[in-house]
Amino acid sequence: MESFESDDGHVIVRLDRGDMVLESIERACEDHDVDTGAVVTGIGTFSTLNIHYVDRTDLPEDQSDRNVDLELEGAWEVTDVNGVIADGDPHLHVTAFDGDRTVGGHLEEGCEINVLGEITIRKIDGLSLERRPGDRNVSQLARR
């Protein structure tokens, strides 16, 4: 993983074969002091795709009862990674295709780069956000 910062607050993250996606984005946020920002674009290929998604409308308090976890191996073409960074913590979603199916959901740790990855982070100055538990234990953005 290597990251590059522009004069106007954009951080480009290059991910190489074997790099871990979320972990590398978290490291880039630390390296470039990204407190509040957005992952505005991301592409690449993953050999491991770990995501979760909500498959219920009743939203029980226990999050483990409302999420479906997928741990998928193979060649995954990633068409988008995006989300918000609050208090230095990325909350990201991903869409990927393996030739037969398209899946999407919340990006989890353990996603490994197959060929390459390219992520663009935009720092947002003058705004400090964090996530706080809200209704039904859903994490919500709030000013810090």
**CATH number 1.10.3720.10 is the correct assignment for the domain at 2-143:** no
Please state, in angstroms and rounded to a whole number, the distance separating the CA atoms of residues 103 and 94: 8
Report the predicted TM-score, pTM, of the whole model to 2 decimal places. Answer: 0.94
Each residue's pLDDT tens digit in the chain (144 positions)?
999 999 999 999 999 999 999 999 999 999 999 999 999 999 999 999 999 999 888 877 766 678 899 999 999 999 999 999 999 999 999 999 999 999 999 999 999 999 999 999 999 999 999 999 888 778 899 999
pLDDT confidence of residue 56: 84
